[in-house]
Amino acid sequence: MTRIAVIPGDGIGKEVVREGVKILNYFNSKYDLKITFKDFDLGAARYLKTGELIPDNILHELETFDAIFLGAVGDPAVPPGILEKGILLKLRFYFDQYINLRPVRLYHDRFSPLKNKGVEEINFTVIRENTEGIYAGIGGFLKKGTPDEIATQEMVSTRKGVDRIIKYAFEYARERGGKLTLCDKSNVLTYAHDLWQRAFKEMAARYKDVETDHFLIDAITMKMVRNPEVFDVIVTCNIFGDIITDLGAELQGGMGLAASGNINPETVSMFEPVHGSAPDIAGKNIANPLAAILSAGMILDYLGKAELAKKVELAVKEALATNQITPDMGGDLSTTDVGDYIVETLKNLEDDE
Ligand code: NAD
Ligand code: IPM
Ligand code: MN
């Protein structure tokens, strides 16, 4: 039996996760995968009612699952950072999900925002360090609220933390026969990213068959727009990975398409769309569920069902090709209609086999 914990969260998180679960349920009944789901109501509503973010008993219960499927957290009624740090980052850190895997894949030329760059050119993966850097939470205030106020927020790079993400990235690039690009700011962060530079070079010596490359964070944003075809796999620190994957999402057609996995092969991994709770469109059944559906595909891949994950991608391609999409991408379907369309397409794909 495979047990998946579902955390719909806030805003459109709830709406898009439902569609992801719909797809998993379709495969479940078709192939008797024996996946069971349990919902956890964590997010703004619970926090505003009880003051709880993730109670300890839930955290411990989550340890017993095979994977977590999360929608998004964040709500205008709650001050920034409380839900994001208290739920999302809490889970990433608690389960030490050090790999944030974020594929950037354009599925249909029509949705490329770049002239002359299509599905051949926009196809790479960002591997973001997910447990340290500026997200580590070290820092604080001195003389808060006075004219002499000081605020610090430290960027933490540990040798072990940097080594393990770089090693994973080399393995990932080797498996796929691609080039590995290091993205950092070693020209200014001469301590933190000096460590990244040394760790990368030392690891490269152990992976001589993997071609390598390097870009500074500012220059990589230029290159991602001008020549995205030069990238296969990019490894980078937490904050840079956060920023360039929103840019990546736009390259692949929009935030509604970008999927991700927070992975630690030894503990419990968590899958979620890259986007947030989108309060501006929440509750209207118009959010694009494809990022959540592709994230559900990543769960299948993670669970060893790569062939089913491929089918999810094929069905998404079909939805994009035939305009069976939500308004953010120029279609007129609702969130639930898109989920239904993907299920129908999956059925047809299998009939053709
Ligand atoms: P956002 O990703 O929620 O939205 C940015 C823009 O993209 C909005 O205009 C939104 O309508 C649009 N958008 C996003 N996803 C979409 C989808 N699936 N379909 C159609 N349009 C979509 O980012 P934001 O507005 O900066 O953040 C809103 C809240 O979400 C904040 O509280 C933030 O902290 C939180 N957040 C959470 C996560 C997460 O839980 N993983 C990620 C990012 C932001
Ligand atoms: C993301 C989000 C989160 C991050 C926030 C909500 C903490 O932007 O998953 O990209 O910065 O990692
Ligand atoms: Mn982000």
pLDDT in tens, 225-283: 999 999 999 999 999 999 999 999 999 999 999 999 999 999 999 999 999 999 999 99
Collapsed DSSP state (helix, strand, coil) of residue 181:
strand
C-alpha–C-alpha distance, residues 347 and 353, integer Å: 10
**What single-letter amino acid sits at 327?**
P
| Longest Cα–Cα distance in the chain | 70
Active site residue 135: yes
**Contacts within 8 Å (CB) and 24+ apart, 57-64:** 59/90, 59/94, 61/5, 62/5, 62/91, 62/95, 62/268, 63/95, 63/267, 63/268, 64/3
Write out residues in the chain with pLDDT < 70, as ranges.
353
C-alpha–C-alpha distance, residues 122 and 293, integer Å: 20
Collapsed DSSP state (helix, strand, coil) of residue 314:
helix
| Ligand 2 atom nearest residue 238's Cα | 12
Give strand pairing partners of 141.
151
Cβ(258)–Cβ(245) under 8 Å?
A: yes
Active site residue 148: no
**What single-letter amino acid sits at 204?**
A
Cβ(116)–Cβ(228) under 8 Å?
A: no
Ligand 3 centroid vs 208 CA: distance in angstroms? 33
Pick the CATH number of 104-255 from 3.30.70.2190, 1.10.1510.10, 3.40.718.10, 3.30.420.40: 3.40.718.10
Q: Is the CB of 338 under 6 A from ligand 1?
A: no
Residue 127 burial by CB count (10 A; 0-12/13-18/19+): exposed, middle or buried?
buried
> Of 111, 275, 320, 332, which is best to mutate to test ligand 1, by the most ligand atoms within 8 angstroms of its C-beta?
275
Active site residue 90: no
Cβ(186)–Cβ(196) under 8 Å?
A: yes
The reported pLDDT for the residue numbered 350 is: 77
When computed from its CA atoms, the radius of gyration of the chain, rounded to whole angstroms, is 20
Q: For strands 259-263 and 269-273, give the pairing.
A: antiparallel
Catalytic residue chosen out of the listed positions 10, 75, 184, 242: 242
Tokens of 229: 């075809």
Classify domain 1-98+264-353 at the CATH superfamily level.
Answer: Isopropylmalate Dehydrogenase (3.40.718.10)
Minimal CA–CA distance to 88: which of 66, 64, 70, 62?
A: 70
| Ligand 1 atom nearest residue 328's Cα | 20
CATH 3.40.718.10 range(s) for the chain read 1-98+264-353, 104-255
Instruction: Give me the numbers of helices (H) and strands (E) for the chain, helices first please.
Output: 12, 12
C-alpha–C-alpha distance, residues 254 and 290, integer Å: 10
Instruction: Classify the phi-psi angles of 72: left when phi > 0, otherwise alpha if psi is within -120 to 50, otherwise beta.
Output: beta
Collapsed DSSP state (helix, strand, coil) of residue 291:
helix
The reported pLDDT for the residue numbered 295 is: 98
C-alpha–C-alpha distance, residues 258 and 277, integer Å: 14
The reported pLDDT for the residue numbered 105 is: 98
The reported pLDDT for the residue numbered 175 is: 97
Interhelix angle 12-31/290-302, rounded to 10 degrees, is 40
